[in-house]
Amino acid sequence: MANKTIDHAITAKTLKSAASDPTHAGILSFMRRRYTKVLKDVDAVVWGIPFDAATSNRPGTRFGPQAIRRASAIMDNDPQYPFERDLFEDMAVIDYGDCLLDYGNHQKTPGTIEREAKKILKSGAYMLTLGGDHFITLPLLRAHAEKYGPLSLVQFDAHQDTWADEKGRIDHGSFVGTAVREGLIDAESSIQIGIRTHAPEDCGIRILYGYDVEEMSAAEIADTIIHHVGDRATYLTFDIDCLDPAFAPGTGTPVSGGPSSARILSVLRKLGALNIVGSDVVEVAPAYDHADITAIAGSNIAMYMLGLHAEKLAERR
């Protein structure tokens, strides 16, 4: 115990150091990464956006970032399966904390998120965001598109989120349609995986419905995504309700008939060929969870996103 420390999130001496906190104790940053707003020499930033005023059914995703961080504690100090590496040995990652939002003035929310996201992206760091409901992806796309140009969207979701909206509307079911109309994403090279509901329009985006995913292998799903998107700058967004409620009950709009966490994690593992420039995990609502099932799935999905980025960095260096 002599060389061990606790509260690694604030006591870490370097951004690449491993934690030694007991799994059941210590300050709960994402995977024990140092809490800091300093963006110098940072490869990746984990950022929370605790917002759920746009949800159409059960609220509670404002507690999603906390739940995902808590569930990530078990992954703090081991080589991460299936990446066979300590993700932080060569990748400097910080937990940037949460976005400060005015709960009484939601019209300011999109601008607040977009401004802070642009600040993070200006540093050159990769940004992984923990939501929050799916509305938060719209201002995140605005920030990423300003830097990278129109993006290919890879969206894991039970819903298309292409419902019509009105200017300035705060709604988690319309962000994709808005993003297409604003030119933030290129519809023809975008794809949605796991859709199990209908919407008035598909905006020209390719869809792998729930029954498609059920009949395809993980390799077939990944190959379809990669061949459709190509080498374009890609934003990866994961709504936890893509998973069947058996594997993610803690969410606001659950839909039966979805894939297992094992299948989708296998798909994510095979997406290393994509040029992913940003990502998020949204719609984790712990009040409806049981034994942290949904939070554990969300934290693993987020870890896979960091794992893919770690491999990209290793290729470049």
Place of tokens 């140092």: 34
Beta-bridge mates of residue 208: 193
Place of tokens 């297992």: 260
Nearest to 30 by CA among 64, 53, 3: 64
DSSP strand pairing (93-98 vs 275-282): unpaired
DSSP strand pairing (206-209 vs 191-195): parallel
- Both tokens assigned to 287: 């009040």
Q: What are phi and psi of 250, to 5 degrees?
A: -85, 75
- Both tokens assigned to 79: 């080589």
Tell me whether residue 290 is exposed, middle or buried, using C-beta atoms within 10 angstroms of its C-beta: 0 to 12, 13 to 18, 19 or more. exposed
Residues belonging to the binding site are 134, 157, 159, 161, 239, 241
Alpha-carbon gap, residue 253 to 159, rounded angstroms = 9
Other C-beta atoms lying within 10 Å of the C-beta of residue 243:
30
Residues belonging to the binding site for Mn(2+) are 134, 157, 159, 161, 239, 241
- Cα distances (Å, whole numbers) of residue 242 to 140, 197, 210, 259: 20, 11, 9, 7
In what helix (H) or strand (E) does residue 193 lie, and over which residues does it extend? strand 191-195
